[in-house]
């Protein structure tokens, strides 16, 4: 076993999870902000690169600070950010999210508590799961930044009526899929099983199955089938994850980095609009970064303590509402002060079921 593989297994295994708990992380609640924009999967060096290039949503590179995130994957970040000890802060915060982990139990992710997810409308002053209605399955399957920005602007302008004094907005970019490389990705996102690598289905026949009842020929055939399916699953699991395909040599570093950067520009272009339509202190950060082979780690496995994934940007700008955009409050916020489906049965469940592979979590 080579050194890189050993490092990766240590970083993402039990030792890594134990060390991850010791990282001096900073919950976003400990920082000052009025509107906080979480840019999903944004590395610190990528943010600094776009700052140096002069993007108008960002300050000079010296103004791009950092903090240690509470998690190395979205569900882990949510589990710790929305822990019970922050209930008071959450009660006066509107959470607008494009990340479907908000609806998942995530019991399959060992580093989550099992007590926080799925999120509920009652957890927040206002709650809008924008991905439920604004997800698109066009060239790529994702939620663009614009509907999240629209919701944040409208909610912030109506904050007094809603009884909140903060808005937390969770954008899906620069997380894959990348808008500039639609051919790298396939399928629609299965949001019902976001982040789950197994379908969780079993039948009575499965429960009654006894391998001892197989003949030698049947056993040999079944083993061959299982081996073939395992190889197929390995290929499928990484098909929508550009970081794993970079690791495997399918893509060049320059190609992936360029597409990743373009996805961040996509979000930042819309954040320029948010800054021009929201008074107050606007923060930009991320839930996690992405490993590019540091300590043998690629992508963003949960419970991983490496700096490339856990050290994320922290940028603060002063927004000024110039009234250049005039979005309406999301329907659920207008009607009840909170939104999000009460259940996922019937048509709603079918719609959610149709979505999740595109972001590489299946």
Number of residues assigned to the chain: 362
Tell me which residues of the chain have a pLDDT lower than 50. Answer: 196-208, 225, 228-237, 337-354, 356, 362
Beta strands in the chain (DSSP E): 35-39, 65-68, 93-97, 126-129, 136-137, 141-142, 166-171, 280-285, 291-292, 298-299, 311-319
Close Cβ partners of 24 (under 8 Å, ≥ 6 residues apart): 68
Angle 253-275/44-52 helices, nearest 10 degrees?
A: 70
pLDDT of residue 200: 35
CA-to-CA distance for 132 and 327, rounded, in angstroms? Answer: 18
Give helix 253-275 / helix 145-157 axis angle, nearest 10°.
20
pLDDT of residue 211: 58
* Strands of 126-129's sheet in order across: 65-68, 311-319, 280-285, 35-39, 166-171, 93-97, 126-129
- Per the DSSP assignment, residues forming a β-bridge with 84 are none
Radius of gyration of the chain from its Cα atoms, rounded to whole angstroms: 21
- The structure tokens listed for 32 are 């000052």
Tell me the C-alpha distance between 94 and 73, whole Å. 22
For the chain, the distance separating the N- and C-terminal CA atoms, rounded to the nearest angstrom, is 27
Backbone phi, psi, residue 163, to 5°: 75, 30
For position 251, what pLDDT does the model report? Answer: 97
Q: Give, for 44, the enclosing helix (H) or strand (E).
A: helix 44-52
At residue 280, φ and ψ (nearest 5 deg) are: 120, -175
CA distance 133 to 117: 20
d(CA 66, CA 44): 7
Looking at residue 194, its pLDDT comes to: 61
pLDDT digits (tens, 9 = 90+) for 107-123: 889 899 999 999 999 99
Token pair listed for 148:
């999240």
Q: What domains are defined for the chain? A: 3-201+210-359 (3.40.720)
């Amino acid at each position: 076993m080579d050194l890189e593989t050993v490092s990766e297994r240590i970083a993402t295994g039990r030792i890594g999870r134990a060390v991850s708990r010791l990282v001096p992380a900073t919950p976003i609640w400990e920082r000052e902000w009025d509107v906080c924009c979480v840019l999903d999967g944004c590395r610190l060096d990528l943010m600094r690169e776009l700052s140096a290039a002069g993007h108008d949503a960002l300050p000079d590179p010296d103004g791009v600070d950092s903090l240690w995130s509470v998690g190395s994957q979205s569900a882990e970040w949510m589990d710790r950010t929305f822990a019970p000890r922050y209930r008071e802060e959450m009660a006066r915060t509107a959470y607008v999210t494009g990340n479907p982990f908000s609806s998942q139990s995530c019991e399959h992710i060992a580093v989550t508590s099992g007590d926080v997810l799925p999120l509920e409308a009652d957890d927040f002053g206002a709650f809008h799961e924008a991905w439920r209605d604004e997800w698109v399955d066009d060239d790529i399957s994702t939620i663009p930044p614009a509907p999240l920005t629209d919701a944040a602007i409208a909610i912030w302008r109506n904050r007094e009526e809603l009884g909140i004094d903060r808005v937390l907005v969770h954008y899906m970019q620069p997380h894959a899929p990348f808008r500039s490389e639609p051919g790298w990705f396939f399928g629609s996102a299965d949001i019902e099983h976001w982040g789950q690598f197994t379908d969780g289905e079993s039948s009575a026949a499965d429960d009654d199955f006894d391998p001892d009842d197989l003949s030698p020929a049947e056993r040999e055939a079944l083993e061959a089938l299982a081996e073939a399916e395992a190889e197929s699953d390995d290929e499928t699991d990484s098909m929508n994850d550009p970081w794993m395909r970079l690791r495997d040599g399918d893509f060049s570093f320059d190609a992936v980095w360029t597409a990743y950067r373009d996805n961040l520009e996509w979000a930042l272009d819309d954040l320029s609009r948010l800054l021009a339509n929201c008074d107050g202190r606007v923060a930009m950060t991320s839930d996690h970064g992405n490993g590019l082979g540091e300590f043998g780690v690629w992508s963003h496995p949960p419970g991983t303590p490496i700096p490339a994934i856990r050290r994320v940007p922290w940028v603060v700008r002063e927004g000024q509402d110039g009234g250049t955009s005039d979005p309406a409050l999301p329907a659920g916020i207008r009607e009840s002060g909170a939104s999000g489906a009460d259940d996922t049965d019937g048509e709603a469940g079918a719609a959610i079921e149709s979505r999740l592979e595109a972001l590489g979590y299946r």
